[in-house]
Structure 1
């Protein structure tokens, strides 16, 4: 009987250990062609993207000109062609303005769907504003996309005053950006001062002490093995982040020598910025939130006179983006 009890305890302990091991395994999707664990001594940084040792651009962009003062890089899934089209029609049409100090491009990853790939090639031939890396375009690879944006900015847009990284479901008030870059005499002096800041600027709607999600039901689940603390350091939600050049350079360098973490906003603007002692400036007073936006769209004749904002909240529909452009577009 004692031997049977001992075997039962051993079986229970082994089972518990097995359950713990399974729980601690990261839930990352396949990250595509990922090489051996990161080596800090890659001979060529251009071909090094965190732990991706054979990185290259499938679709490249020409370097920024001397007159480019601000670069906007939009994170977009390869299949989000309608969203990119709406942005080009509205606030993102800055590339079509002669002498514009702003430049915009869309950041994509690699795709395995041949028909979608053909469509992307045709889109690039028509608009020429896609920047595509050779990592697979999946949610778990979004940190590669973010660091690719920092890489391109640091290597090829050295004269710009800022990098604005945004998602493809928001509205950017490019009229405010253009006014500030061409003739910085905005009525909102606090926003003016932020946009004119040249150093140590990490600007976003800061998230404070966010709890780590452990539930298997969530796409944001993080295992204890990936991140052991119960809360994240303060970080920038990814829908809008504005970097001054020095901050973009520091975070890029730190990301290149740090292990991969699939929540890009937490990793780059939270964990790495805390490690580098980079403060986060608060963008919240200059964000157009959903309730205010609906009020503006319902009382359109008063909108332009009363509101000065830089970006909208995220998850906007194409109709909402077009409506905001009709009110705040740079005519």
Structure 2
């Protein structure tokens, strides 16, 4: 376009000074000028097309970026990460507060294993037996272990005073202000997740265990020390139950586990690790606690935890060393086990401890 303007200006100047060429010459000049104009328009048109192509290419590239972003968004909103990116309605609020607590239990410690024992308020004898056996924080040399007992509130003033005294003496009792009943096990499970994530988030592993379960602490620590890589994250380890069926008969033999279709409309429960004992990696208590707030309440704590895991897209990992049946007190037989339920008396707990600390 600059060349066109130059030619036009030259012609105008010539006309102003009376130097207009004669007709034949003028025709040649006009023809040349016309050709120049056409050529300049051709160049401009090519530049426009080039620019359009570039813009289209950039648009295509941006579409690719957008598609990649969408794929990344799909990844972010996959079940594993959905709790962090999507708003769910609060279906199971946990408004309870700690009435007994030992918040400094893990302070300034590189805790390898946090043990949280769910206990009944009146279960002082069992708690004491655990403190003297596998719950002893010094039982495994060179490994930092912390043990706490999680309880709800008793309606017995005397038992409440015993709990307060225990908490002051041993610094290992934590209590929230909910009524401790068989139907509040899920509330206690959520309490465990809450306490672990708030007061001992640095623990590499968390063992949640019931007070009628015996733990071979040596076997457990040995196994956890052997884990590497991906197995140390997103881990919930225990005896895994698959395809369990809800009890639908409210008057049947198992009526205590009856669940209505309104409470759980599916035919089978999700996979879940037994409540008697399961281990979580350090990242899981917080993830599960957050998931619990948006997961409809179900009174069976282990199945409820399975529902939370399902929401997160994480499958529990099975380990046969978590024994869900009663076993004989035999040192050679028990050494390969990690945990065994139905150890209902402090005396039996101590016999098991003597068995695994002896030699075959």
TM-score, normalization by structure 2 = 0.67
> Could you give the per-residue CA deviations for residues 197-256 of structure 1, whole angstroms, max 9, x where no partner exists?
320111111111111012334221111211112221111120011111222222111102
Alpha-carbon distance, 1:109 to partner:
0.6
2:236 is the counterpart of 1:202:
yes
Match of 2:249 among 186, 204, 215: 215
Alpha-carbon distance, 1:99 to partner:
6.7
Instruction: Name the structure 2 match of 1:67.
Output: 110
2:330 is the counterpart of 1:287:
no
Instruction: Name the structure 1 match of 2:195.
Output: 152
Instruction: Name the structure 2 match of 1:241.
Output: 278
Match of 2:304 among 260, 267, 273: 267
Query: Rg larger in 1 or in 2?
Result: 2
Q: 1:321 to 1:254 in 2, by over 3 A?
A: same
In 1, are the aligned partners of 2:113 and 2:144 still within 8 Å (CA)? yes
Q: 1:130 to 1:281 in 2, by over 3 A?
A: same
2:204 is the counterpart of 1:161:
yes
2:99 is the counterpart of 1:58:
yes
2:180 is the counterpart of 1:137:
yes
In 1, are the aligned partners of 2:275 and 2:302 still within 8 Å (CA)? yes
Task: Spell out the pairing of 1:7-46 with structure 2 (5 A cutoff).
Answer: none
2:342 is the counterpart of 1:314:
yes
Structure 2 CA distance for aligned equivalents of residues 124 and 232 of structure 1: 37
Alpha-carbon distance, 1:175 to partner:
2.1
CA RMSD of aligned residues (A): 2.9
In 1, are the aligned partners of 2:277 and 2:322 still within 8 Å (CA)? no
Alpha-carbon distance, 1:161 to partner:
0.8
Q: Give the unaligned 5+ runs of structure 1.
A: 1-38, 43-48, 185-191
Instruction: Name the structure 1 match of 2:287.
Output: 250
Structure 2 CA distance for aligned equivalents of residues 328 and 240 of structure 1: 18
2:280 is the counterpart of 1:231:
no
Alpha-carbon distance, 1:41 to partner:
8.5
Question: Equivalent residue of 1:238, what SS?
Answer: strand
Instruction: Name the structure 2 match of 1:3.
Output: none
Alpha-carbon distance, 1:177 to partner:
3.9
Structure 2 CA distance for aligned equivalents of residues 231 and 124 of structure 1: 41
Q: 1:83 to 1:152 in 2, by over 3 A?
A: same
Q: 1:173 to 1:196 in 2, by over 3 A?
A: farther
2:128 is the counterpart of 1:85:
yes
> Could you give the per-residue CA deviations for residues 151-190 of structure 1, whole angstroms, max 9, x where no partner exists?
1111111211111100001111112344567xx4xxxxxx
> Could you give the per-residue CA deviations for residues 117-148 of structure 1, whole angstroms, max 9, x where no partner exists?
12222222222210100111112111111111
Instruction: Name the structure 2 match of 1:8.
Output: none
Structure 1 CA distance for aligned equivalents of residues 141 and 227 of structure 2: 26
Question: Equivalent residue of 2:129, what SS?
Answer: helix
Question: Equivalent residue of 2:214, what SS?
Answer: coil
In 1, are the aligned partners of 2:154 and 2:180 still within 8 Å (CA)? yes
Question: Equivalent residue of 1:326, what SS?
Answer: helix
Figure out how many residues of one structure are paired with residues of the other and give that number. Answer: 268
Question: Equivalent residue of 1:239, what SS?
Answer: strand
Question: Equivalent residue of 2:262, what SS?
Answer: coil
Alpha-carbon distance, 1:315 to partner:
4.1
TM-score, normalization by structure 1 = 0.72
Structure 1 CA distance for aligned equivalents of residues 89 and 272 of structure 2: 28
> Could you give the per-residue CA deviations for residues 1-56 of structure 1, whole angstroms, max 9, x where no partner exists?
xxxxxxxxxxxxxxxxxxxxxxxxxxxxxxxxxxxxxx9799xxxxxx94243x21
Structure 1 CA distance for aligned equivalents of residues 271 and 325 of structure 2: 23
- Greater RCO (Cα-Cα under 8 Å, separation 6 or more): 1
Q: Give the unaligned 5+ runs of structure 2.
A: 1-86
